[in-house]
Amino acid sequence: MAKKQYAFYPGCSSQLRGSASNYLTSVNAMCDTLEVKMTPIPDWNCCGASIGYAGSGQLARHVMNARNFALAETHLPGQDVVATCAACWLGARETKEKLDASSQLLAETNEALKEAGLEYKQKTEVRHMVEVLIEDLGYAAMAKPVVKPLEGLKVAGYVGCQTNRPFGIAGESFENPLYLDKLVETLGAEPLTKYEQKVTCCGGALAFSEPEKSRVQIRQIVESAYDHRADLIVTPCPLCQANVEIYQSEINKKHGTKLDMPVTYYSQLMAVAYGKSAKAAGLDGHVIAPKKLQDIAVKVVPAKK
């Protein structure tokens, strides 16, 4: 029996063959080891992300998020809604706070939801996967199942924006959050605590509409990792992961650089440390292969105890 269970909001990019499909693969592997049961909210929908504003306006955006809450309350009562994507978490949590604060907005949201036969009863709690790991399980519980300490792996912890601001993880600072470094250390790897670009914006959704401006950001994020002799960058955000990984080749083309820095998810590090295969950790889902992590993943460990 699973120790803990949650209403899972995986988000669009995590879906099969989506741009962050290997995030979901590794989260599943990680949760399997940690005995955390993640049940997807039946028929969940997109949150609208932070870029849909010009089309959505205010109410439609909240209605989209509230639909997920209503579905979770109906089908998975009593379970916290847990998002793995930074934008899903941010959007959902913003909606929850707005609806909690305004009875008018709540009434209007429910007026719209009624058209889909749903009602939001304000019982939903919105959490990020990282909050579940840190607050509900704790570092000791995350360290316990480690069978392959990631020894010698130098990791630049890139927290990015939306897992960090405006809500962030309780008790962490906005300018220098430490949880990702602590998590890396828990797995036996070496966190590069002096990495300067920890909370720099990668351009977010504007990597598509303003590619040149965003690539200036991405280049800084990657070059600083090189300056600190990182083997790879690790991040909790699917858009950070995609932007920082896939545009390195374009930056190389344009500027003659030789950027080739792997960018992985925290959940992939955890899955590998827990002895999962490279495939189960989603390591086959990269444009820039995380070779050092792959080497650890294929290493055979002597059976424990």
Our CB check for another protein shows the closer of 44 and 274 to be 44
Least Cα distance to 212 among 224, 203, 222 occurs for 203
Q: How far is the CB of 280 from another protein (least distance, A)?
A: 14
Q: Is residue 56 within 8 Å of 86, Cβ to Cβ?
A: no
The two beta strands, 81-83 and 126-128, are: parallel
143 binds another protein (CB under 8 A): no
Q: How far is the CB of 229 from another protein (least distance, A)?
A: 25
Q: How far is the CB of 152 from another protein (least distance, A)?
A: 25
301 binds another protein (CB under 8 A): no
Our CB check for another protein shows the closer of 31 and 199 to be 199
Q: Which of residues 12-31 bind another protein (CB under 8 A)?
A: 12-13, 15-22
Per CB under 8 A, the list member of 52, 145, 149, 188 interacting with another protein is 52
The two beta strands, 36-40 and 4-9, are: parallel
Our CB check for another protein shows the closer of 34 and 288 to be 288
Q: How far is the CB of 270 from another protein (least distance, A)?
A: 20
Residue 139 vs residues 133, 170, 283: alpha-carbon distances, Å = 8, 15, 24
Q: How far is the CB of 111 from another protein (least distance, A)?
A: 6
Rounded Cα–Cα distance for residues 305 and 302 (Å): 9
Using CB under 8 A, count the residues that bind another protein: 67
53, two tokens? 């504003």
Q: How far is the CB of 16 from another protein (least distance, A)?
A: 8
Our CB check for another protein shows the closer of 20 and 36 to be 20
DSSP assignment, residue 303? P
170 binds another protein (CB under 8 A): no
Q: Is residue 80 classed as helix, strand or coil in its secondary structure?
A: coil
Contacts of 105 (CB under 8 A, 6+ apart): 59, 62, 98, 99
Query: What sign has the CA pseudo-torsion 138, 196, 265, 88?
Result: positive
Q: Is residue 8 within 8 Å of 38, Cβ to Cβ?
A: yes
The strand order across the sheet containing 4-9 reads 36-40, 4-9, 81-83, 126-128
Q: Which of residues 257-276 bind another protein (CB under 8 A)?
A: none
Q: How far is the CB of 168 from another protein (least distance, A)?
A: 8
Binding mask 118-137 for another protein (x = CB under 8 A): x-------------------
- What are the residues facing 7 on neighbouring strands? 39, 81
Is 3 exposed, middle or buried (CB count within 10 Å of its CB: 0-12, 13-18, 19+)? exposed
Instruction: Report CA 248 to chain centroid distance, whole Å.
Output: 20
Candidate segments 48-56, 134-142, 146-154, 256-264, binder of another protein by CB under 8 A: 48-56
Rounded Cα–Cα distance for residues 226 and 63 (Å): 43
Per CB under 8 A, the list member of 39, 200, 257, 294 interacting with another protein is 200
67 binds another protein (CB under 8 A): yes
Query: What sign has the CA pseudo-torsion 23, 24, 27, 28?
Result: negative
Our CB check for another protein shows the closer of 58 and 277 to be 58
Judged by the rule CB under 8 A, the positions of this chain that interact with another protein are: 12-13, 15-22, 43-46, 48-60, 63-64, 67, 108-109, 111-118, 161-162, 165-166, 168, 174, 200-201, 203-206, 208-210, 213-214, 217, 242, 246-247, 249-250, 284-287
